[in-house]
Amino acid sequence: MKKDEYICVAAILGAFGVKGEIRLKTFTDGPENIMSYGPLLSIKGDILLTPQTYKVIKGGLALVCKEVATREQAEALKSKKLYIKRSSLPLTDNDEFYLIDLIGLEVKTADGKRMGSVVGTKDFGAGVLLEIKPKESASFYHPFTKDGVPKIDINLKRIVININSN
């Protein structure tokens, strides 16, 4: 399996209500977009949930799925991550990409100094940060803004960062 064959789009927070609804935290642009991908999968590709209806709630969605009929079944799924096949995502324009596309790209400063490579992205609530890992030291976070990351070249697998944007 390729590292990006499956994309994590949500995590199950537990049950919602008493009728088997699942409380879900989504990682999609809009929480309701989770409904457009079809069945939600395990990392191995097995179907875990088939969304039928939803309602937006604080912190995510309450989801009704055909596989879950009781509150106990919903609670048993708590902490599971939900995936879709990468091929289920809409195609991007030439100047667009998904954050997953940045993982593994080489990072340099504007003056050419090698900083390492992108090993992850995080959003602690104040915007997306790139996690950059130099070859011989601990990783660090860098703001993923136009000023902080003035150039991204997916084809050349390279990112230029502005270290003065911290």
- Listed by start position, the domains of the chain span 6-88, 99-165
- Specify whether domain 6-88 bears CATH 3.40.50.300: no
**Could you tell me the pTM of the whole model?**
0.72
- pLDDT for position 24: 95
Per the structure block, which two tokens stand in for 128?
């997306």
Bridge-based pairing state of the strands 106-109 and 158-161: parallel
Helix (H, G, I), strand (E, B) or coil at 121: strand
pLDDT digits (tens, 9 = 90+) for 123-144: 887 889 999 999 989 999 999 9
pLDDT digits (tens, 9 = 90+) for 3-27: 458 989 999 999 999 999 999 999 8
Q: Average pLDDT of 42-65?
A: 94
Confidence of residue 162 (pLDDT cuts 50, 70, 90): very high
pLDDT digits (tens, 9 = 90+) for 59-79: 889 999 999 999 999 999 999
- Dihedral, CA of residue 89, residue 95, residue 98 and residue 100, to nearest 10: 130
- pLDDT for position 99: 87
- pLDDT for position 1: 36
The top-level CATH class assigned to 99-165 is: mainly beta
Burial class of residue 135 in the structure, from the number of CB atoms within 10 Å of its CB (0-12 exposed, 13-18 middle, 19+ buried): exposed
